[in-house]
Structure 1
Amino acid sequence: MITVERSFVVGLPLDELVAYLEDFSRTEDWDPGTVRCVRLDAGPVRPGARWRNTSRFRGRITHLEYRLVTREPSRLLFVGENKTVTATDDLGFEAESASLTRLNYRASLRFKGLARIAAPFLRAEFEHLGDEVAERLPTAAAAQRRT
């Protein structure tokens, strides 16, 4: 398994940041690997909501179906799956002030079958993606406030 963790401050109040990130289709804005992410069901976002995420990694396109597992005032947990991997995005939130929130971001990938062999060789690339998320997400989240 590969786990990447980043902690950074975002210029939004905690409740606004959670509201922004609970809609997983917004990964298009801040996740460098996501090409497209579409909600598969309707209604309010709550545990059980599902998205189809299309990502590009190492030149290949992959599809995962994500679901929101946990939606708490200071935590979101998404789990995505396909035949070769289970991906978990665990987002924890801490108010730094009335207008700033610390996001503790943890992405874990558990490879299945023969794909498990490649996992140790992919860690550096996933660490790089984690750096890009930490760079892009604060800007994307703040931009949504202006729209």
Structure 2
Amino acid sequence: MVAVERSFIVTAPRAVLVDYLKDFSHAQEWDPGTRTCERVDAGAVRVGSTWTNVSVFRGRETRLTYRLVRMDEGRLVFVGENTSVTTTDDLLLTPVPDGTLLTYRARLDFKGWRKLAAPFLRKDFDRLADEVERAMPRVLGKL
């Protein structure tokens, strides 16, 4: 298992951020590793909505199916899965005087023999989390 966490303040109100972030297809705008992210189902975004996400990590393309598993006024949780890994993106949004404190947590649980590689990938995931921390406030600040 590899987990990363980053926190930063965004000037947009929490409700605006939740409305934008609940549609995981926007990940291609704020996640530098995401190449494409397309909604699979139709209708309003709700718990259970799904997306196909194609990301590149360490030069390799990977495809995951993400599902929105929690949507509250201050928290969104997405779980992505394929045969190699289960990922959890947990977004906590807390009102603060200058806007919204966004705490971004990502967790990767590798499956099978891939669990052995987790300690060796820690630095790469930290670098990716740093890139998200730089990109996300820039994108969300425009909302």
TM-score, reference length from structure 2: 0.98
Cross-structure match for 1:46:
46
Percent identity over the alignment is 52
What's the counterpart of residue 71 of structure 2? 71
Gaps of 5+ in 2: none
Map Cα deviations across residues 3-55 of structure 1 (whole Å, 9 max, x no partner): 00011111210100111110000000010110000000011111000000000
* 2:88 is the alignment partner of 1:88: yes
Q: Kindly provide the amino acid, as one letter, of the partner of residue 91 in structure 1.
A: L
Q: How does 1:22-37 map to 2 (within 5 A)?
A: 22-37=22-37
Residues of 2 paired with 1:15 and 1:129: CA distance?
26
For residues 12-27 of structure 1, the aligned pairs below 5 Å read 12-27=12-27
Question: Which consecutive unaligned segments of at least 5 residues does structure 1 have?
Answer: none
Residue 117 of structure 1, CA deviation: 1.1
SS of residue in 2 equivalent to 1:42: coil
Secondary structure class of the residue paired with 1:114: helix
Let me know the Cα RMSD of the aligned residues: 0.8
Task: Spell out structure 1 runs of 4+ moving beyond 3 A.
Answer: none
Partner-residue secondary structure (3-state), 2:116: helix
> SS at the partner of 2:4?
strand
Q: Which amino acid aligns with 2:51?
A: W
How far apart, CA to CA, are the structure 1 residues paired with 2:141 and 2:45? Answer: 21
CA distance in 2, matches of 1:47, 1:96: 26
SS in 2 for 1:67: strand
Q: How many residues align?
A: 143
- Note the C-alpha offset of 1:2: 0.4
TM, length-normalised to structure 1 = 0.95
Cα drift, residue 142 of structure 1: 2.1
Q: CA deviation at 1:115?
A: 1.0
